[in-house]
Chain A
């Protein structure tokens, strides 16, 4: 039973437009959420995170939104750049556990 779900395996956007990646979770104990980016043959790289006490966190072109009542978070990238093309993983963690629970990932392609 997947606790973190990324229902879109892929997403394609034009350079300069907004990319929106979505993530849903089922475990109400999760209170910290992260997005990682992964290029082929490399390990995941931390991108941005959000605590459950917030509903938005912004870092440059990247913004993560959290809707606790819907158990949904999203990552917005604006403007999208070709170098953003990668697989994006949503991950969650609960205060009582050190492990991250990952979704299956969404492959983002930004076309020039």
Chain B
């Protein structure tokens, strides 16, 4: 079946604008994760959904960042009042049930550039 897909693949915006990044997980996967990868760094955890609910949002850097998953499938990461420091690759991953030894499968990422 299809893997994790993310849209758009690239997004250029101006400082202060609002952006939405979309993630389509693998069909049937109940666990969904957002990570952010800055240049020269490894992916950093942002938020984890189990079904429709955010089970762990401890990685969200501040209240400008928000994510939803209203029907337990597609998720949207929302960034308000974007800043230049938000520029990064935003990665989405999914796993079957979120259990310890399950593999997290990653999408290709959305490259966000804030000018």
With A101-B45, A103-B42 as given contacts, are A46 and B103 in contact (CB-CB < 8 Å)?
Answer: yes
Complex partner residue of B106 from A6, A43, A97, A104, CB under 8 angstroms: A43
Complex partner residue of B101 from A49, A89, A104, CB under 8 angstroms: A49
Question: Which residues of chain B have C-beta atoms less than 8 A from A34's C-beta?
Answer: 103
Are B106 and A45 touching (Cβ within 8 A)?
yes
B55 in contact (CB, < 8 A)? yes
A51 in contact (CB, < 8 A)? yes
Closest to A96 in B: B100
Q: Please report the C-alpha to C-alpha distance between residue A97 and residue B31 in the assembled complex, in whole angstroms.
A: 13
B104 in contact (CB, < 8 A)? yes
Are B44 and A102 touching (Cβ within 8 A)?
yes
Q: Please report the C-alpha to C-alpha distance between residue A41 and residue B6 in the assembled complex, in whole angstroms.
A: 12
By CB atoms of chain B within 10 A, which of A36, A41, A43 has the most?
Answer: A43
Interface members, chain A 1-44 (any B CB < 8 Å): 4, 6, 31-32, 34, 36, 41-44
Interface residues of A (CB under 8 A from B): 4, 6, 31-32, 34, 36, 41-46, 49, 51, 89, 91, 93, 95, 97-105
